[in-house]
C-alpha cells in the first residue's frame, strides 16, 4: 500500500505569530545513540529539565526531515516521537501501511515501517536526541518555550510541531485490526495511498462518505477496481457540484443512498481478507450483503493537536488538507528546519548586540 499521511503526517505549515515557533503538523521512540545519551545528561539541570535550541514534536517524514536538517546545522535538536500517540506507533501513519511505491529513490518500493526506520536512523546519525515519549502539554506563553512529557520538561528556543492528522474511522463489526477485523486487509482510509494494491485490482470496491474527498477517491479507485460503490447515509451529497458531477457521470461508480455499513466479513476463499459488507438501509431498516474486496473511509481527518490547547494560531482546518503525501511532508519538514535555523540566527544576532 502506498502512503498518504494522511495521516501518513498532515502538516501545519504556517508560522506562529510567536517568533521561533514553526508548526507543521505528534508521535515519540527513545532509542538515543550513545552520543545523544551523553549530551542528554550534560544538558539536564538539577530539576531534570532539558535545554535545547530546537525541539521537534513528531515522528513522520516531516519530523525526521526537520531533525536531519537541524542536526546537520548543529542545532542539536531534541525530538519527541511519541509512544502510541493517537494509537499509532512511532513513525506515524507510514507504519500502518505496507509497500510505499511513490517515494523517490526506491524503484522497487519499500515497506512503510522500513522507510521510517531509515529516517529515524538518519536523524540519530547526525546527533538528534530522540525520546519515545508522548508530549502531554506545551507552554508557549513565554520564552524559552516549554514542552512536557510525563517524565521530561524541555526548554527550547524554537519548536517544530509535526504531528500530522489522523484519518477518521468508523467503528463496526470487522472494521478493526486483525485478527477479528480487516483494517489494512481490505479496509483503508486512503484510496490514493492504497488503491493500487494488487488485492483491489479488478475487484468491486466501496467508499464511505459524501464530501469532495469521497467523490475524488471513488473516481480514483475506478482506475483499479471493476466497480466502485459510494455508500452514503443521506439522499444527497454535501460535495461540490463539480465533484458530484464527475462521480455521478462515471459509469464505474454506483451510489447506495441512505445506507450505512454495519459489518465487514471475510472472503470465502481467504478469510484473512475483506470479502464483503453488510449494509443497512436507514430508511427501510433492511440489511443486505455487498460483495467488495476493498472499503475506503473518506470521512475526513482530525489534526493531532489537542496537546497544544489552543496555543497556536491555525487555519480553519488545523492542518494541510491538500498535500497529504510522504514526500510533501518531508519537504515541509525541511522548510520548517530552515525557518527555525534562520530565526535562531536572528535572535543570536540580537543577543550579541545587547551583549
4 among known catalytic residues: no
**C-alpha cell, 209:** 462518505
Catalytic residue among 190, 212, 267, 320: 190
Is 194 one of the annotated active-site residues of the chain?
yes
Given 119, 193, 267, 339, which residue is catalytic?
193
* Omega of the bond leading into 73 within 30 degrees of 0 (cis): no
Determine the Cα angle at 58 with ends 56 and 60, to 5°: 125
Q: How is residue 161 written as a grid cell?
A: 510541531
The answer to whether the CB of 337 falls within 8 A of the CB of 160 is yes
Name the active-site residue from 99, 194, 267, 339.
194
Other Cβ atoms closer than 10 A to 152: 18
From the list 238, 195, 234, the residue with the least C-alpha distance to 215 is: 238
**How far is C-alpha 71 from the chain's CA centre?**
23
Q: Is 193 a catalytic residue?
A: yes
- State the cell numbers at 104: 523517490
In angstroms, the Cα distances linking 137 to 152, 267, 309 are 11, 44, 8
DSSP secondary structure letter of residue 308: G
**Catalytic (active-site) positions:** 190, 193-194
Amino acid at each position: 500500500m502506498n502512503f498518504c499521511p494522511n495521516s501518513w503526517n498532515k502538516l501545519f505549515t504556517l508560522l506562529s505569530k510567536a517568533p521561533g515557533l514553526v508548526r507543521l503538523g505528534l508521535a515519540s521512540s527513545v532509542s538515543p545513540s550513545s552520543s545523544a545519551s551523553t549530551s542528554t545528561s550534560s544538558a539536564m539541570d538539577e530539576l531534570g529539565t532539558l535545554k535545547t535550541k530546537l525541539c521537534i514534536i513528531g515522528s513522520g517524514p516531516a519530523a525526521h526531515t526537520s531533525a536531519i536538517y537541524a542536526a546537520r546545522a548543529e542545532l542539536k535538536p531534541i525530538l519527541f516521537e511519541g509512544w502510541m500517540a493517537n494509537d499509532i506507533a512511532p513513525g506515524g501513519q507510514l507504519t500502518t501501511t505496507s509497500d510505499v511505491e511513490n517515494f523517490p529513490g526506491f524503484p522497487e518500493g519499500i515497506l512503510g515501517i522500513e522507510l521510517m526506520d531509515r529516517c529515524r536512523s538518519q536523524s540519530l546519525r547526525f546527533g538528534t536526541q530522540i525520546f519515545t515519549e508522548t508530549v502531554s502539554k506545551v507552554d508557549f506563553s513565554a520564552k524559552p518555550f516549554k514542552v512536557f512529557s510525563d517524565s521530561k520538561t524541555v526548554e527550547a528556543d524554537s519548536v517544530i510541531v509535526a504531528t500530522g492528522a489522523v484519518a477518521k474511522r468508523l467503528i463496526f463489526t470487522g472494521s478493526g485490526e486483525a485478527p477479528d477485523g480487516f483494517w489494512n486487509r481490505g479496509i483503508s482510509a486512503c484510496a490514493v495511498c492504497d488503491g493500487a494494491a494488487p488485492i483491489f485490482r479488478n475487484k468491486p470496491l466501496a467508499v464511505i462518505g459524501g464530501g469532495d474527498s469521497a467523490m475524488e477517491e471513488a473516481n480514483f479507485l475506478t482506475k483499479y477496481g471493476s466497480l466502485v460503490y459510494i455508500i452514503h447515509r443521506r439522499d444527497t451529497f454535501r460535495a461540490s457540484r463539480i465533484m458530484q458531477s464527475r462521480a455521478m457521470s462515471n459509469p464505474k461508480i454506483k451510489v447506495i443512498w441512505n445506507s450505512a455499513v454495519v459489518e465487514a466479513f471475510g472472503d470465502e476463499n481467504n478469510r484473512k481478507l475483506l470479502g464483503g459488507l453488510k449494509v443497512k438501509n436507514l430508511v427501510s431498516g433492511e440489511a443486505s450483503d455487498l460483495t467488495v474486496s476493498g472499503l475506503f473511509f473518506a470521512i475526513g481527518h482530525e489534526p493531532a493537536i489537542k496537546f497544544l490547547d489552543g496555543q497556536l494560531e491555525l487555519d480553519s482546518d488545523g492542518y494541510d488538507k491538500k498535500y497529504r503525501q510522504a514526500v510533501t511532508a518531508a519537504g515541509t519538514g525541511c522548510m520548517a528546519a530552515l525557518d527555525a535555523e534562520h530565526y535562531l540566527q536572528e535572535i543570536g544576532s540580537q543577543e550579541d548586540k545587547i551583549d
